[in-house]
Amino acid sequence: WLRQPVPEGLRRPPGPRGYPVLGNVLELRKDAHLALTRLSRRYGDVMEVRIGTRPVLVLSGLDTIRQALVKQGDDFMGRPDLYSFRFVADGQSLGFSPDSGEVWKARRKLAQSALKSFSAAPSPTSSCSCLLEEHVSKEAEYLVTKFLQLMEEEKRFEPYRYLVASVANVICAMCFGKRYEHEDQELLKLVNSTEEFTDVTAAGNPADFIPLLRYLPSRSMKLFIDFNRYLLSFLQRRVKEHYETYDENNIRDITDSLIEQCLDEKLGTNTAAQLPKEKIVNLVNDLFGAGFDTITTGLSWSLMYLVTNPSIQKKIQEELDRTIGRERRPRLSDRGMLPYTEAFILEMFRHSSFLPFTIPHSTTKDTVLNGYFIPKDRCVFINQWQVNHDEKLWKDPETFNPERFLSADGTKVNKEDGEKVLVFGLGRRRCIGENIARGQVFLFLVTLLQQLEFSVCEGGRVDMTPLYGLSLKHKRCEHFQVRQRFLMKGRS
Ligand code: HEM
């Protein structure tokens, strides 16, 4: 690594010296978000650390991050070519591959539009306002039944494995028009081993920065490669089925609509026409891959906060009883009328910050940020956790308190405060599933909480210690219980 000279009048970002060869890798292997938050207090919002011999720029502070990702968006929109990312979707991933040029742009647009078509479109077969509402309502109702059944049979249960199957079914319905039974082994194997993915893609994974480590045997790397292979073959089977039964007069789901894009010869002027076919259809890999683990993790943290804060759960249920009542099921359009519930969800995102960093970025050209010189191709970590726990933005950031987002009379969510919570990234690379994700977390939660009260059985321990990875998980908790609040019409 040769240090590039810094142009006159500019400075190199400050940072800790680190050990020879290893750099700061030892400090970052575990809970990198906490270590980098501590270091940022000393070195500032624009800081440089070394992982192995490779320099990494670490950005903290909402203003600095907005400056980089929004105001200087083009300079910071790249993705680094990291070793582990080459195994994601066979190196063709929209979100993880190093491409950030015209091909990425066209693919991102196609993915956004396919996602919108199969979530916001009206539901042809139900009274739901849109397809997303139909899928989520159905899966959430199923969960209510499942949790009650588990209580009858076992008296306690572990919710994550049921949540993940339900959330995966929503994205499966959108992508493949298909739902799986909760006992389906093909789906369960996939959705219950995402830790194998999030472990290796965690920011600061040494094998991404120290090439020598790639040649040493690593159990987590092997599991990661196997996971990606299994996911890819699962998805390829679904795509093959779709090609075999494709009918241009009946576009059933996202996969069909992507197939339509690459078969449509009239699209001569569309940039999509210049994309290789596979690069269109395999967008479904990103949508499916990004579409269930994140949302499940958010819902699972929500349940953990609810059982450890029963008075907060009660307030949400009072709000639901007051606004929706007990006669009808919740809808996506109820969101604006449930400020306390909205505030709870924002506080869950903020306090857990379960995506502590975005996916790493890289600079697309030499640039300057806050007076510091940043060369092209610099790997950049965006510390979302730091923003969400910054004492300059939040009073008592470690306290879980939904009310911090509410107006004094409790009737409105303060929009500006809500926008300070950083979980979906910002700018050119901002998450394309944000609307769907917010809608799903809301509708799953309110459907469950309208009918069920969650608790942990006596003596059952709840461990909220976050386990570091691309997403922060908690240890699974076997001690959940539910109580039916009332008998919903149409439920036996
Ligand atoms: C990227 C968060 C759900 C699709 C991202 C990024 C974050 C994020 C932090 C990286 C932003 C960056 O690098 O600056 C979340 C959270 C979710 C969620 C917290 C749920 C609570 C979803 C869903 C989908 C999705 C449901 C699609 C169905 C994507 C895609 C990218 C992405 C395709 C890559 C975008 C690109 O690199 O251009 N998401 N996401 N996400 N997300 Fe999400």
User: 328-368: per-residue pLDDT in tens?
Assistant: 999 999 999 999 999 999 999 999 999 999 999 999 999 99
Are 75 and 83 contacting, i.e. CB atoms less than 8 angstroms apart?
A: no
Q: Which regions of the chain are under pLDDT 50? A: 1
Are 490 and 471 contacting, i.e. CB atoms less than 8 angstroms apart?
A: no
Instruction: Report phi then psi at 426, rounded to 5.
Output: -145, 160
User: What is the pTM assigned to this prediction?
Assistant: 0.95
Which two three-digit tokens encode residue 13?
Answer: 């970002």
Q: pLDDT at position 266, please?
A: 57
- Which atom of ligand 1 lies closest to the CA of 358? 9
- Measured distance CA(237)–CA(175) in Å, rounded: 13
CA of 359 to the centre of ligand 1 (A): 9
- Measured distance CA(195)–CA(277) in Å, rounded: 31
Mutate which of 424, 426, 443, 472 for ligand 1 pocket (most atoms within 8 A of beta carbon): 424
- Which atom of ligand 1 lies closest to the CA of 360? 13
ipTM of the assembly?
A: 0.99
**Among protein residues, the one whose CA lies closest to atom 1 of ligand 1:** 431
CA of 273 to the centre of ligand 1 (A): 25
| Pocket (CB within 6 angstroms of ligand 1) | 94-95, 108, 111, 115, 171, 286-287, 290-291, 294-295, 298, 355, 358-359, 423-425, 429-433, 436-437
**Among protein residues, the one whose CA lies closest to atom 42 of ligand 1:** 431
- Give the DSSP letter string of 217-240: --HHHHHHHHHHHHHHHHHHHHHH
- Measured distance CA(23)–CA(45) in Å, rounded: 20
CA-wise closest residue to 452 among 45, 151, 50: 151
Are 449 and 313 contacting, i.e. CB atoms less than 8 angstroms apart?
A: yes
Mutate which of 75, 349, 431, 443 for ligand 1 pocket (most atoms within 8 A of beta carbon): 431
**Among protein residues, the one whose CA lies closest to atom 39 of ligand 1:** 431
The residue with tokens 């461990």 is: 463
Which two three-digit tokens encode residue 477?
Answer: 């908790």
Are 435 and 132 contacting, i.e. CB atoms less than 8 angstroms apart?
A: no
Q: Which amino acid is at 323?
A: T
Q: pLDDT at position 339, please?
A: 98
Are 59 and 386 contacting, i.e. CB atoms less than 8 angstroms apart?
A: no
CA of 425 to the centre of ligand 1 (A): 8
- Measured distance CA(402)–CA(423) in Å, rounded: 16
Which two three-digit tokens encode residue 346?
Answer: 């924002």
Which two three-digit tokens encode residue 70?
Answer: 């929004």
CA-wise closest residue to 80 among 107, 53, 100, 106: 100
- Measured distance CA(470)–CA(468) in Å, rounded: 7
CA-wise closest residue to 353 among 374, 328, 384: 384
CA of 432 to the centre of ligand 1 (A): 6
Q: pLDDT at position 272, please?
A: 53
- Which atom of ligand 1 lies closest to the CA of 286? 33
CA of 424 to the centre of ligand 1 (A): 6
CA of 125 to the centre of ligand 1 (A): 29
Which two three-digit tokens encode residue 152?
Answer: 């009858």
Are 355 and 470 contacting, i.e. CB atoms less than 8 angstroms apart?
A: yes
- Which atom of ligand 1 lies closest to the CA of 115? 28
- Measured distance CA(406)–CA(411) in Å, rounded: 7
State pLDDT tens for residues 251-303.
999 999 999 988 876 555 555 557 888 888 999 999 999 988 999 999 999 99
- Measured distance CA(426)–CA(69) in Å, rounded: 6
In terms of residues, how long is the chain? 492
